[in-house]
Structure 1
Amino acid sequence: MVTGELKAQVDKVWNAFWSGGMANPVEVIEQITYLLFIRRLDELHTLAVNKANTTGKPLENPVFPEGLDHSGRTPRSYNDLRWSVFTNFGPDEMYAVIDDHVFPFLRQLGEEGSSYARNMKDARFTIPTANLLIKVVDLLNEIPMADRDTKGDIYEYMLSKLATSGTNGQFRTSRHIIKLMVDMVAPTPSDTIIDPAVGTGGFLMMAGEYLHDHHPEIWTDPKLREHYNTDMFTGFDSDAAMARIGSMNLLLHGIENPTMERADSLGETHPQDKQYSLVLANPPFAGSLDFEATSKELLQMVKTKKTELLFVAHIVRLLKNGGRAAIIVPDGVLFGSSNAHKQLRKMLVEEHKLDAVVKLPSGAFKPYTGVSTAILFFTKTSSGGTDMVWFYDVQADGFSLDDKRTKLEESHENNNFPDLLERWKSLSTSPELEQSRLPVEQSFMVSKEQIVKQDYDLSINRYKVSENKKVLHRDTKEILMELSELDSKFLSLIQNIEQELDNS
């Protein structure tokens, strides 16, 4: 967590952009991302040089080749494109090198190589002045970025500045909600994990952190480590800026070469040649949809223009048999009465294994939206398997449910997440307790038969029963006697006041 002096240093970077005339937080994050990527390229080149010097072998795979770069108005040495070099130039020279050479070099890298590089293929340099550039570069140089945890936390804090909703129903999912979902699905070192609406990469980042903390064998087994750094994590987003930002978020959290691409997950041209063992997602609740360009395979699964329904169907398609998913959906998905809503819910219950429905409080995604939401947990089987579905009614998530979303003092009344996680884990260790709970409690089980009887309605209020608490009332005669005494006292008081008035 970024606190104190480090937080103040990051705030200075943002304040520099804002005072320099750049007020769009996504654009600011993009420019910071480019600069951090440029800095990372220099670090990789330095590592290659140091390895060559240590082994006495020729330099292998240098980031910056020898010779001159002719992409700008005047040729420059490729060495000038390195962060450690151009940061020593004066403001005007640094600005010219970055604008004329470094950014064209980034776009050139995007033609081949890692997904990090590919996400730079349309990189645009939009910092307006040399003075702002040198101020930002100096401030970034002052921020310690050597430690994996520190630089990851710093970037996450920068991402928290994205306080406005995106154009297609996108918004940044609160990290404590992501952590809950990741803790519940408990990723393993053999998983392949995808977020088809990746945004800033929070789900993949948190899954990586879970594995880092719970599976130390990854760092001692070369095959597991290679899998972690390459094949384990995949993210797609229709917004190129989000793909870039998500890439950098994973890079700064120590994931070396995941697949992070710009792609429309619902589109006909989206690559569908791979399936995954785990999906984590908070897809857009609403947004523009080109019906003609939408995948025909998806429309065969559920014919609708509602993106939230299409994303759930897409996630089913992405999973291999035995794969599991945790996905945030608006409440309408749970009880919507259209044919598409019912068709989708029936598919989850009858063709696969619906594991749980976790109802979130209505303010969980403020200030972005007040839409009520829930988390669906299911396992793809293609052969059914739903027997009992676990429901949990979250009434508090540790933060105030107004637009400020202020962190509250820790207690069960203020935060149900620890209790939720404990009950969820008990389902696999001692399921009898959860199975015995009545539908008046915060969590309970509902049979498949009940769900079918309710036309596959998955809203918790359909099954939760309000508990009528017995209230003890005072005896009526006792109340009447007390009222009589009060009446007598009132009359006596009036008489005393009248006597006082007569004597005055």
Structure 2
Amino acid sequence: MFEQTFKNIDDILHKDAGCGSELDYVEQTSWVLFLKYLDDLEKDKATAAALIGKSYTPIIAPEYQWNTWAAPKDAEGKLDHHTALGGDDLKEFVDHKLFPYLKKFKVDAESADTIEYKIGEIFSELKNRVQSGYNLREVINRIDELRFRTHAEKHEMSHLYEDKIKNMGNAGRNGGEYYTPRPLIKTIVRVVAPEIGQKIYDGAVGSAGFLVEAFEYLKHSKKLTTSDTLTLQKTTFYGKEKKSLAYIIGTMNMILHGIEAPNIVHANTLAINLDDIQDKDRYDVVLANPPFGGKERAEVQQNFPIKTGETASLFLQHFIKILKAGGKAGVVIKNTFLSNTDNASVALRKKLLEECNLHTVLDLPGGTFTGAGVKTVVLFFEKGAPTRKVWFYQLNLARNLGKTNALNEKDLAEFVELQKTFGESENSWSIEAKDIDQSTFDLSAKNPNKKVEAALRKPQEILEEMKVLDDESAEILGRVLELL
């Protein structure tokens, strides 16, 4: 049901002059979807309160509730076309009444860790881009058909919302930065293995994929007590995001996955001076895929001891600094980080090896990130002790990765199993820290177990084979011509 509804909504938005790409489709679907989800959430809370003899005061005032403006029902429970707003009236209400009302929640909320505050933040950042009130009415009608009441319904919806975010990666306007392949994120979370009670952080949160998957992992890690549930809701997941749309999508993604007031801040992580980070600011776990290829201005670089314009290298310094002693990390970075010879890269590798135990490097194949033509590695490290030995795993697949042939969890199963014991195989090997070049700290180790490729043929052999094939082709063509 959800999948077909999302496809129908995309078709509607494609016709609207205000929506020009998949990014717009996701953004505009998101705010309508969010308000319907919020309405069902309020109904669930009212029901739960009634069961224990208490009353529930809705967050949203009556005139702005879903069943008043979006989908008023008649006596038979069907859309009441006489009272439902449409066309210019609907657009006027949404743009000049609904959005301003919801924006005020940010000012009126008791604190930043409430769902009221998050509602205000979301609608302060978003705007209704759908220009036709008639198209908006169609979108609302489609979303009104959806239910988010049962666990299965919520799970299906959140899974398909992830698919929509994934499609943003093919949509231009840097959409790819919002999405890290979920099989890779799940694998990173599994290897890092966070525990309930630890504070988990992503300083380049994007669509919040790492935090969402960490939440799913921890939910199923044990039978949760009431205290555990509260801990996961309030004091476990933290993130920062610089870009407005990514921040909104990430916040809504977490809410749609069941975290009502995500601790995500709309801010530039790299604007923080590392000297200002205190013990109280630190985290137990870092999970992140910082943007690669970006360039930062000189004033931003002044916040870091190792000056570089490379965004990912600044993020890595930030992550090392913000980890608690004994803290664990799984960070995606371009594989050129392992071997770049510039002073900043050498200094950063030295810092990583001396201040952290870089125990695992996962080398990923090209095409892992759809639409991004870069090769990446995942660095797994623990802060507080120097590196003694680095275990490398090179993911070699018998197929090329791409949009229609994406990375899956089965591809990474051998890595997960071998990593538990740092086992050696055709695809894995270890290097002692003392054997790493102490002048360059180059980490681009070659796989010593990889089978030697067959020797290249001599040019004369290739030319002779080409001549044989040409002669065969000429013979076949001659026969065809004789038959004509």
Q: Is the 8 A contact 1:352 1:385 kept in 2?
A: yes
> Aligned equivalents of 1:453 and 1:6: distance in 2?
55
For the pair 1:19 / 2:25, whether they are aligned, the reply is: no
Kept after mapping to 2: 8 A contact 1:268/1:295? no
TM norm structure 1: 0.78
Structure 2 residue aligned with 1:101: 97
Q: What letter is aligned with 2:15?
A: S
Are 2:289 and 1:289 equivalent residues in the alignment?
no
Classify 1:166/1:188 alpha carbon distance in 2 versus 1 (closer, same or farther; 3 Å). farther
Please report how far the alpha carbon of residue 28 of structure 1 lies from its aligned counterpart in structure 2 after TM superposition.
2.2
Matched residue, 1:375 = 378
Q: Identify the residue that residue 210 of structure 2 maps to in structure 1.
A: 203
1:464 is the counterpart of 2:464: no
Conservation of the 8 A alpha-carbon contact between 1:285 and 1:329? yes
Match of 1:340 among 327, 338, 344: 344
Counterpart of 1:159 in structure 2 is 165
Higher RCO, 1 vs 2 (CA within 8 Å, ≥6 residues apart): 2
Task: Say if 1:180 and 1:83 are closer, same or farther in 2 by CA, change over 3 A.
Answer: same
2:225 maps to 1:214: no
Structure 1 358/334 Cα, relative in aligned 2: closer, same or farther at 3 Å? same
**Amino acid aligned to 2:388:** D
1:397-417 deviation line (CA, Å, top 9, x unaligned): x97424x34259x9xxx9541
User: Is the CA contact (8 Å cut-off) linking 1:390 and 1:445 kept in structure 2?
Assistant: yes
How far apart are the structure 1 equivalents of 2:292 and 2:406? 25
SS of match in other structure, 1:464:
coil
Shift of residue 260 of structure 1?
Answer: 1.2
How far apart, in 2, do the equivalents of 1:248 and 1:406 lie?
A: 28
Q: Relative to structure 2, which stretch is displaced further, 42-51 or 316-325?
A: 42-51
Change in 2 beyond 3 A, CA 1:138/1:50? same
Which residue matches 2:284? Answer: 277
Look up the match of 1:135.
138
Following superposition, the deviation at residue 294 of structure 1 comes to: 4.3
CA distance, structure 2, for counterparts of residue 238 and residue 283 of structure 1: 11
CA shift digits 1:238-289 (9 cap, x unpaired): 0111111111111111122220121101114799452111111111102242
Cα distance in structure 2, aligned partners of 1:465 and 1:457: 19
1:13-59 Cα deviation digits (max 9, x unpaired): 11111122312222222222221232233334445554665666565
**Maintained 8 Å contact 1:181/1:326:** yes
Q: For residue 464 of structure 1, what is the amino acid of its counterpart?
A: P
Q: Counterparts of 1:366-405 in structure 2 under 5 Å? A: 366=370, 368-381=371-384, 384-396=385-397, 400-402=400-402, 404-405=403-404
1:174 aligns with 2:174: no
Change in 2 beyond 3 A, CA 1:466/1:31:
closer
- In 1, distance between residues paired with 2:145 and 2:355? 55
SS for the counterpart of 2:441 is: coil
Counting only pairs closer than 5 Å after superposition, residues 316-331 of structure 1 correspond to structure 2 as 316-331=320-335
1:32 maps to a residue whose letter is T
Partners of 1:46 and 1:133 in 2: how far apart?
24
Corresponding residue SS for 1:190: coil
TM normalised by structure 2 equals 0.81
SS at match of 1:459: coil
1:145 matched to 2:151: no
Question: Which residue is 2:461 aligned to?
Answer: none
Identity %: 27
For the pair 1:423 / 2:407, whether they are aligned, the reply is: no
CA offsets per residue over residues 112-170 of structure 1, 9 Å max, x none? 44362323323312211111111001111223333331221121122122123544972
The gaps in structure 2 that reach 5 residues or longer are 73-83, 456-484
CA drift at 1:424: 0.8
1:29 to 8, 26, 29: 26
- Structure 1's unaligned 5+ residue stretches are 65-77, 428-433, 472-504
Give, in whole Å, the separation in 1 of the partners of 2:312 and 2:454.
42
Cα distance in 2 between the residues matched to 1:343 and 1:169: 29
Shift in Å, 1:97? 2.4
Structure 2: how far apart are the matches of 1:83 and 1:101?
Answer: 14
Larger Rg computed on CA atoms: 1
1:436-455 to 2 correspondences below 5 Å: 437=424, 441-453=426-438, 455=440
8 Å contact from structure 2 (residues 357, 383) kept in 1:
yes
1:276, 1:318 within 8 Å by CA — same for their partners in 2?
yes
After superposition, give the CA deviation of every residue in 1:338-365 in whole Å (9 maximum; x if it has no partner): 1111111111111211111110002211
Q: Please, which moves more after superposition, 445-454 or 51-60?
A: 51-60
CA–CA distance in 2 between the matches of 1:348 and 1:269? 19
- 1:198 offset after TM fit, Å? 0.8
Quote the Cα distance in structure 1 between the aligned partners of 2:217 and 2:445. Answer: 29
Greater Cα offset, 262-271 or 185-194? 262-271
Amino acid at match of 2:234: T
In structure 1, the residue matched to 2:124 is 121
Q: Cα gap change, 1:262/1:417 in structure 2, threshold over 3 Å: closer, same or farther? A: same
Q: Report if aligned partners of 2:356, 2:386 keep a CA contact under 8 Å in 1.
A: yes
Q: Would the alpha carbon gap of residues 49 and 138 (structure 1) be closer, same or farther in structure 2, given more than 3 Å must change? A: same
Q: 1:139 to 1:344 in 2, by over 3 A?
A: same
Q: What are the residue-to-residue correspondences of 1:226-375 with 2, within 5 Å? A: 226-268=230-272, 272=277, 274-294=281-301, 296=303, 299-300=304-305, 302-366=306-370, 368-375=371-378
Matched residue pairs, number?
A: 427
